[in-house]
């Protein structure tokens, strides 16, 4: 019925198909959940990796977390942006604690409401 070449071809084809499905499933972006109390603004950075939100120079917290559009953490020094829409969270001292750089789809939606 099947010789060894045909069987090997079918097995390899099935393996490649299953691998491509798993990679495409990983590529699907999961909707990010944002905490309560977030604010929205426009972020720009300076040459010294300082944060300018809505035109005002802001102090960042020591352990600041910046999340890219892909939800990966990036260092403040690696962020070089001009007027991108973000959500941000401040700590009790008014320092910027977390920043989420929004995708175009997220930026088109209003700030999520939590009950």
pLDDT for 87 equals 96
pLDDT for 26 equals 46
pLDDT greater than 90 at residue 43:
yes
DSSP string for 15-58: HHHHHHHHHHHHHSPPPPP--TT-EEEEEEE-TT--EEETTEEE
Provide φ and ψ at 104, rounded to 5°.
-60, -40
pLDDT greater than 80 at residue 91:
yes
Q: Rounded to whole angstroms, how far apart are CA atoms 37 and 59?
A: 18
Q: Rounded to whole angstroms, how far apart are CA atoms 103 and 84?
A: 9
Give the mean model confidence (pLDDT) for residues 22-43: 76
Contact 79, 88 (CB under 8 A): no
pLDDT for 36 equals 87
What sign results for the dihedral spanned by CA atoms 70, 73, 77, 83? positive
pLDDT for 100 equals 97
């Amino acid at each position: 019925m099947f010789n060894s070449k045909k069987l090997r071809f079918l097995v390899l084809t099935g393996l490649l198909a299953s691998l491509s499905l798993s990679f495409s499933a990983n590529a699907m972006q999961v909707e990010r959940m944002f905490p309560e109390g977030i604010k929205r603004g426009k972020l720009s950075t300076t040459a010294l990796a300082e944060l300018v939100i809505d035109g005002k120079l802001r102090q960042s917290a020591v352990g600041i977390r910046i999340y890219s559009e892909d939800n990966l953490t990036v260092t403040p020094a690696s962020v070089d942006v001009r007027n991108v829409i973000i959500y941000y969270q401040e700590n009790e001292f008014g320092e910027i604690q977390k920043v989420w750089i929004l995708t175009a789809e997220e930026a088109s939606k209003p700030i999520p409401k939590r009950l």
